[in-house]
Structure formats: C-alpha cells, structure tokens
Amino acid sequence: MGTFASNKLLCFGALARLARCTADKCVSFGAGLSIPDTKVIAYSHETNGTVLPLPGTVASCGGPNLTAIITADLCRVVLVVATSSSSETSGFRDWGIGGCVDYPTMQNGAGLGFASFGMNAGHNGSTGFDFFLDKPEVLNDFGYRSLHFEASVGKQVVEQYYASSSFKNYYAGCSTGGRQGFQNAHLYPSDFDGLLLGSPGVNWLRIVASKGILAHRIGWPDLDSPAYVRPEQWPAIVAEQIRQLDPLDGVADGIIDEPTRHRFDPQTLACGAGLLNETLCLTPQQVSSVRKAYEPVYDSDTHIVYPAFELGANTNVFSDNQQNGVAKLSYTILQDFWRGAVYNDSTWAPENFSTADMDFALAENPGQVNAWDTDLSEFHERGGKVISYHGRSDETVTSALSEWFYSGVQSNTNLTLEETQAFYRLFFIPGMHHCGGGPGAWSIGNAQRYPYDQTLLDSSYNALLALVDWVEKNRTPETLIGTKYQDDVVGGEVVSQRGKKYPPYVSILLYMLIVT
C-alpha cells in the first residue's frame, strides 16, 4: 500500500557554474549562516560517496539506522525553522503522513548540481497521530505552510552561500508532496519557477475518506456478511478486468492504458456465468458490492466528490482489511488523521466510518489540508511551469483526480486549452502504481526514487530535466519516455520504453451509474 509521502526538493539552477564547495568555505559559511527564526543545528562538508548516518530518524521514516549516500561534494546544513510560535519544521535532515525528509529526491538533485533541500513538513513520521493531536500549528505546517517556509529559507541559504539571488527554483514532490506543490502555486505563486508534481493528493481528506467508504461498500467490517467480497476473490476480479479491457487499447500487455475510459460489469463474474468457479464466483450480493466498489464517492447530498477506484489497480484497499479474521482497515492514515486532526480523540476507530465523517472533516478542513485550489492564474502569469504525472494504476490516489484538477485549473484561470498547456502539462503513465512501481514503463525520473538512471539524464527521459529545459530554455515537454527495467531496478537492464503524447484533457466527464 502506498502511503502519503512528503517529498520536497528545492533546487536552484545554474549552480554548477558557480564556485565549488570547499571544506573551508562550508565551515565558514555554516558558522556565519544567519536567518531569522531559524536555528542552525549542524553543518559539515561531505564528499561524494560518503554514506551518511541519519541518527534520530523515526521508524516510520526508515529509522533508526537510516543512511543517505552523498552524491556530490557538498556542504550539508541542518536547520530548524520556527513556522509559528508553537511549531517548527526541520530542514535538510530528517523523509507517509508526510513527515519524512525525502532524501532520495534530495540526493538526485545534489547529484545534478542543484542546491537541494528536504524537510519533514513539521512533524517526524509517516504513521501515528500524536504529532497532530491538539496541535493546530503542526497541522498548518503539514497542510499548507511548511513548503513555503522551506522555499523562503532555502532561498536565503543559497543567497548567502553564493552572494547572488538570480536562481531558478524548482520543487519535486509526489503524493502529499504533489498536493503541497499545487497548493503552494496557488497560495505562494512566486516561490517556484517550476513544479514537478507526481500522483498529487489534492482533495486529500476525500482520498483518505474514500478508503473507509469503499471498504464499507463491499460489506466491511462484517466479514460474515453475504455482501462481503473475500480477499481471495479480488485477484480474480482484477485479472478479469485486465482480460476484458486491456486489449481495447490495441496491445495485450497486461495493462489497461486508460482505465477511466472503460466500464466493467461484475455481472460477468457471477456464479453460473461460467468465468469463475464456485470458489471465486460472485453471489448476487457480491456482484452488487463490486459494482459499488467501482462507483465514485458521493457526499451526503449525493454529489460526486471523488472519482471511482481505478480499474486494473491493486485492490489491497478492499482485500487487506482484516487481520486473522478481525476487521481492521489496512489504510491506517484514515484512523490516524481522524483521531489526531479531525476528532481530537485518541480512541476513535473507523469501523463505522461514513459519509458524515468525511463531510465533517471537509467542513473543518484541519490545517487547510484539503486543498482544491485550482486558481493558478498568478503562478501562470509569473511564467511558472508545472509538469504533473499520474500512474493509471494508482491504488492510492485515483488518476482521474488529476483529470478533474486539470479541468479545474483550466476553467478557474479562464484559459484556453492551448494556454493551459503552455504552462501545465499532465502525463498519465499506464500501469504505474502510486508514485512509481507497477507493470508499466513507469520510470521517468520520478520524485522519491534514487538513483536516477545516469545513462538517461536527458529531458526526454527525466521529468525533472524536462522541467528545467521548459523553464530555462522554453522547450515544451510534448512527450516523456517511460522506461521499464528488469525487476524494476532503475538503471539496470532496460526491458522496454514507451513514450506517449497524451491527448489534452478537457472539461467533460461522463459517469454512468448503474444503480442496483
């Protein structure tokens, strides 16, 4: 299961042309660094190849023995930034519910010669709720604020280091990092020149709520209910979706290229229909459950508020919700966030989760986390560029959400499709899971994945470099070529490559709802 990862990269272009970092310069720089509301915790000169221990990293961020590989001679600085009188965000150091520093992305950035920053979004850890319980300022950091502080402090660090302020600023993030990037473009449009935003978790509360709502649609938590679809049935259901729908894109490769363009009728898997044997076939109640599982999410007024689960995607969200026969939601972020941030109740559990719980959270919108800020007009007017990408087999944030967001930006900025495409490109990656992985040719220099393939450091294959070329050379990224590696080891043996120019996404969405 994917978790929401907070991934921040702030890169300042053109650094390679500037003074190289020497040990002496690093030490004198660290000693003299002075930024308001910011404490310098440590600084050191590190050489390429050093394996750096990261003590103090919490378990959900890969601790306690996490290390990072230094990929260039660099000056490392650890900062703590006070974002309010009662919260702070640690920079450069510490990678869920997005409280982990994204070292992989930072390492990639440093390897390319960028000054790279990462931060913990104001709390340490990707699981748990204590860090949010009764801490509204920590929630604000996570919700919308920490990235802005990272940008602002990062710029000051670089200006002091290079005694210059003419840099291009980039950000790369995935999942909640993608959400924070879009939110940042709306709230603080002058922070960055280019944004690389993967599998963005915009509409965050509904994404998380959908896990509870979908679980209920298939009979959970009553594992004995006749409507409950058993874990062992799900692989057969998905296999049948792929068998029926994959060939419609012209090539039978086990990947449904455009799942939002298809419908799947679970009646074909009913007992007696002949496709599944008596162990796996669906009873009439289960047919109804599966049908509901692939409907969009509605609010209490029956408005569609979140798109349907992806056909062909991994179904752990349906199948993993029990432990030894006891109902337990596998997507722990739901319980954590509603405990810590929504209900301020450390005993709340999601077994009775309903639309009302979702709507309540939306009304509260703790930390303004549920960003759906599609007015990017100021960012656009300043010349900002966005490359966004989303896997078409994303089991965590359904990729249709990116279609919705794209349409929203277009209508909210009053731009034509051509004008929108001139600053914001959305690439769908067939067969990619949440942020990376999956059967498709998914490697495009994804945020959160270290290392890059050093032989494909080119804007045709690497989305960060494509973004830099767009911002600095006005070279529009018409296509991105994805690479599939043997055993998904990036940089290893190339199995296949695929490049696709995606049709523009315009504003008509059609849903066929089959009510049973």
Instruction: Note the residues at the interface with ligand NAG (CB under 6 A).
Output: 48-49, 56-57, 64-65, 71-72, 90, 94, 111, 123-124, 134, 277, 279-280, 344, 349, 351-352, 375, 377, 413-414
Question: Which residue is at the shortest CB distance from ligand NAG?
Answer: 56
* Residue 299 beta carbon to ligand NAG: minimum distance, rounded to whole angstroms: 21
Give whichever of 320 and 351 is closer to ligand NAG, judged by the CB atom.
351
Between 316 and 377, name the residue whose CB sits nearer to ligand NAG: 377
Q: Which is nearer to ligand NAG, 41 or 506 (CB)?
A: 41
Q: Which two tokens stand for residue 12?
A: 């300042």
| Shortest distance (Å) from residue 133 CB to ligand NAG | 7
DSSP for 158-209? HHHHHT-----EEEEEETHHHHHHHHHHHH-TTS-SEEEEES---SHHHHHH
Cross-strand pairs, 258: none
Least separation in angstroms between CB 344 and ligand NAG: 4
Instruction: For the CB of residue 12, give the shortest distance to ligand NAG in the complex, in Å.
Output: 15
Report the distance separating Cα 158 and Cα 167, nearest Å: 9
Has 434 been annotated as catalytic?
yes
The one catalytic residue in 102, 191, 246, 394 is 394
By the 10 Å C-beta count (0-12 exposed, 13-18 middle, 19+ buried), 509 is classed as: middle
> Which candidate in 246, 434, 443, 453 is catalytic?
434
What is the gyration radius of the CA atoms in the chain, in angstroms? 23
Q: Which is nearer to ligand NAG, 216 or 425 (CB)?
A: 216
Distance CA 92, CA 343 (A): 32
Distance CA 436, CA 447 (A): 9
Q: Which residues pair with 500 in a beta bridge?
A: 480
Strand, coil or helix: 88: strand
Q: Token digits for 283?
A: 């009873």
453 is catalytic: no
Q: Judged by CB, which is closer to ligand NAG: 134, or 419?
A: 134
Residue 415: closest CA among 507, 305, 510: 507
Alpha-helical regions (H) of 282-432: 284-293, 316-319, 332-337, 355-364, 377-381, 400-412, 417-421
Give min distance, CB of 412 to ligand NAG, in A. Answer: 6
Which is catalytic among the residues 175, 319, 388, 402?
175
- Tell me the two tokens of residue 155: 């710029």
DSSP state of 142: I
In the complex with ligand NAG, the residue whose CB is nearer, 144 or 353, is 353
**CB of 296: closest distance to ligand NAG in angstroms?**
25
Where does residue 168 rank: exposed (0-12), middle (13-18), buried (19+ CB within 10 A)?
Answer: middle
Residue 235 vs 511, nearer CB to ligand NAG = 235
Instruction: Give me the least distance between CB of 466 and ligand NAG, in Å please.
Output: 20
Q: How far is the CB of 71 from ligand NAG (least distance, A)?
A: 6
Residue 94 designated active-site:
no
**Cβ closer to ligand NAG: 399 or 413?**
413
Any long-range contacts for 189-192 (C-beta under 8 Å, 24+ apart)? 189/376, 189/378, 189/379, 189/382, 189/384, 190/382, 191/147, 191/148, 191/151, 191/152, 192/10, 192/151, 192/384
Collect all residues with Cβ–Cβ distance below 8 Å to 94 and sequence separation of at least 6. 54, 56, 57, 61, 100, 101, 119, 120, 124
Residues annotated as part of the active site: 175, 394, 434
